[in-house]
């Protein structure tokens, strides 16, 4: 069974530029999550989708971050404009609706200079 796919793996941009990340979850997983993990910290949930609907985006900085999952499968997370503090690893995870175990993709390491 293929795992969660993410691209790109690494991205370096200058502040105020925009960037987009892509995620393709495990086949059949209805729930998709985007996390931000800053070095030395645990993952912080940015947004959670159930099929193509948003379940939780309470911690998503909506003035600069956006995400979509149009067909209930793959998803895109965008940052526009980027700030220095956005430097982090962006993790995508997916799960069945139950029993909720999440499986993570390899992540995208973003560096904002």
Partner 1 sequence: QKEVEQNSGPLSVPEGAIASLNCTYSDRGSQSFFWYRQYSGKSPELIMFIYSNGDKEDGRFTAQLNKASQYVSLLIRDSQPSDSATYLCAVRRNFNKFYFGSGTKLNVKP
Distances (CA, A) of 13 to 16, 47, 74, 80, 95: 9, 22, 24, 11, 31
Binding mask 82-111 for partner 1 (x = CB under 8 A): -------x-x-------xxxxxxxxx----
Tokens 């503090």 belong to residue: 85
| Token pair of 61 as six digits | 């900085």
Q: Can residue 44 be called a binding residue for partner 1 (CB under 8 A)?
A: yes
- The nearer residue to partner 1, 20 or 45, going by C-beta atoms, is 45
Q: How far is the CB of 3 from partner 1 (least distance, A)?
A: 10
Q: Does 25 engage in binding with partner 1 (CB under 8 A)? A: no
Tell me the residue length of the chain: 113
Two tokens, residue 58: 């309470």
- Residue 49 within binding range of partner 1, rule CB under 8 A: no
Is 34 a binding residue for partner 1 by CB under 8 A? The answer is: no
Q: Which whole-number Å values give the CA distances from 74 to 40, 52, 63, in the listed order?
A: 28, 9, 23
| Residue in 1, 28, 40, 53 binding partner 1, rule: CB under 8 A | 40
Alpha-carbon dihedral of residues 68, 51, 3, 48, nearest 10 degrees?
Answer: 60
Q: Toward partner 1, which CB reaches closer, 22 or 103?
A: 103
Q: Residue numbers of the site for partner 1 (CB under 8 A)?
A: 31, 33, 35, 40-45, 48, 50, 55-56, 89, 91, 99-107
């Amino acid at each position: 069974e293929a795992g969660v796919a993410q691209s790109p793996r690494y991205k370096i941009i200058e502040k105020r530029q925009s960037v987009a990340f892509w995620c393709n979850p495990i086949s059949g997983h209805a729930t998709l999550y985007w996390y931000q993990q800053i070095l030395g910290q645990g993952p912080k949930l940015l947004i959670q989708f159930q099929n193509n609907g948003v379940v939780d985006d309470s911690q998503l900085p909506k003035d600069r971050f956006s995400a979509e999952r149009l067909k209930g499968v793959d998803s895109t997370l965008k940052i526009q404009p980027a700030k220095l503090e956005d430097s982090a690893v962006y993790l995508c995870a997916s799960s069945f609706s139950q029993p909720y175990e999440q499986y993570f993709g390899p992540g995208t390491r973003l560096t904002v200079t």
